[in-house]
């Protein structure tokens, strides 16, 4: 059975529906995105952090209300703007699902908490405990696996943004490499992570084979921009925020729009993914290149 998954990220909700962040009414923006999501009738929703801009309980309540209307399971993890304890308290009932591993058809979805309590600028890390559990899981499954987390574990080629990603990304990427026992030739990357950035937003055929590696996808938020890259046959996807965007120097009009990622997980371990942009009000501004996410 193919599973249809919609990823929304960096909703940055505030305490009332009219409140704005960097000039954008984040509740209204999310509402329009979710209307578009609902039209496509996904089987499940994935929320990859920065759900509430300041971690206020009322913001999570507003999120709950909007997401519950879709009546599908909603898997979530926190971002650097969230307050995880409050989020867990307010999002602890259906359709929200709390956990670090779920089954989606023939696939597994692993949810990592990359938030770092001691972060200075919003950077993240994956704890030793989570890395160990991930290793154990990958050693004991042959089901295709998608991993979701908030922070980006590979470079985005934007200097300020790349200082606030996963600070121990090397350990995470090494673990993914070790999960592929099939072909030593595929084990490149002793230095910086090798990424083939793919401009097209549709990827269904990895450029390199990783057929014996259960990990097929790594999905993240935090960057507020679309990204698609291949590393050793694993697809890394960044997804636009449902409100404000980070713009590269070569950004075009469409890059300014909020959006979400549509992912179809096929039983044979292949997938299809694309970013869907959602036009907003004509006055919605966007984040300049040098801004926090």
Backbone phi, psi, residue 97, to 5°: -125, 125
Q: How far is the CB of 219 from Fe ion (least distance, A)?
A: 15
Binders in 50-109 for Fe ion, by CB under 5 A: 50
By beta-carbon proximity to Fe ion, the closer residue of 205 and 290 is 290
Helix (H, G, I), strand (E, B) or coil at 255: helix
Q: Specify the stretch interacting with Fe ion by CB under 5 A; choose among 18-26, 42-50, 111-119, 120-128.
A: 42-50
CA pair distance 64, 18, nearest whole angstrom:
17
The answer to whether 10 contacts Fe ion (rule: CB under 5 A) is yes
The answer to whether 293 contacts Fe ion (rule: CB under 5 A) is yes
Report whether 62 contacts 52 (CB < 8 A).
no
The answer to whether 113 contacts Fe ion (rule: CB under 5 A) is no
# binding residues, Fe ion (CB under 5 A): 3
CA pair distance 71, 129, nearest whole angstrom:
33
Strands 259-265 and 271-277, how do they pair? antiparallel
Reading phi first (left if > 0) and then psi (alpha if -120 to 50, else beta), residue 153 is in alpha
Q: How far is the CB of 222 from Fe ion (least distance, A)?
A: 6
Q: Specify the stretch interacting with Fe ion by CB under 5 A; choose among 46-54, 85-93, 151-159, 249-257.
A: 46-54
The answer to whether 114 contacts Fe ion (rule: CB under 5 A) is no
The answer to whether 29 contacts Fe ion (rule: CB under 5 A) is no
Measured torsion, CA atoms of residues 105, 238, 270, 30, in degrees rounded to the nearest 10 = 40
By beta-carbon proximity to Fe ion, the closer residue of 10 and 230 is 10
Chain residues in the site for Fe ion (CB under 5 A): 10, 50, 293
């Amino acid at each position: 059975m193919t599973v249809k998954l919609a990823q929304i990220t960096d909703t940055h909700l505030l305490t009332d529906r009219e409140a704005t962040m960097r000039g954008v009414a984040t509740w209204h923006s999310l509402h329009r995105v979710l209307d578009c999501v609902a039209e496509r009738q996904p089987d499940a929703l994935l929320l990859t952090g920065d759900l509430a801009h300041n971690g206020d309980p009322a913001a999570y309540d507003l999120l709950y209300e909007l997401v519950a209307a879709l009546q599908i399971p909603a898997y979530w993890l926190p971002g650097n703007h969230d307050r995880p304890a409050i989020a867990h308290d307010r999002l602890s009932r259906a359709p929200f699902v709390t956990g670090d591993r779920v089954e989606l058809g023939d696939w597994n979805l692993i949810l990592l908490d990359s938030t770092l309590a001691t972060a200075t600028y919003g950077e993240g890390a994956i704890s030793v405990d989570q890395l160990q559990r991930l290793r154990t899981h990958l050693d004991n499954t042959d089901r295709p696996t998608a991993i979701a987390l908030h922070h980006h574990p590979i470079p985005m080629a934007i200097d300020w943004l790349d200082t606030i990603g996963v600070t121990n990304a090397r350990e995470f990427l090494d673990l993914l490499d070790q999960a592929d026992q099939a072909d030593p030739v595929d084990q490149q990357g002793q230095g910086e992570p090798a990424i083939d950035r793919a401009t097209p937003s549709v990827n269904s055929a990895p450029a390199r084979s990783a057929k014996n590696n259960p990990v097929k996808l790594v999905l993240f938020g935090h960057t507020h921009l679309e990204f698609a890259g291949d590393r050793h046959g694993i697809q890394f996807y960044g997804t636009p925020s449902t409100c404000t965007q980070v713009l590269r120097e070569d950004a075009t009009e469409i890059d300014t729009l909020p959006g979400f990622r549509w992912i179809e997980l096929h039983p044979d371990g292949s997938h299809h993914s694309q970013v869907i942009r959602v036009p907003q009000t004509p006055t919605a501004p966007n984040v300049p290149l040098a801004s926090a996410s």
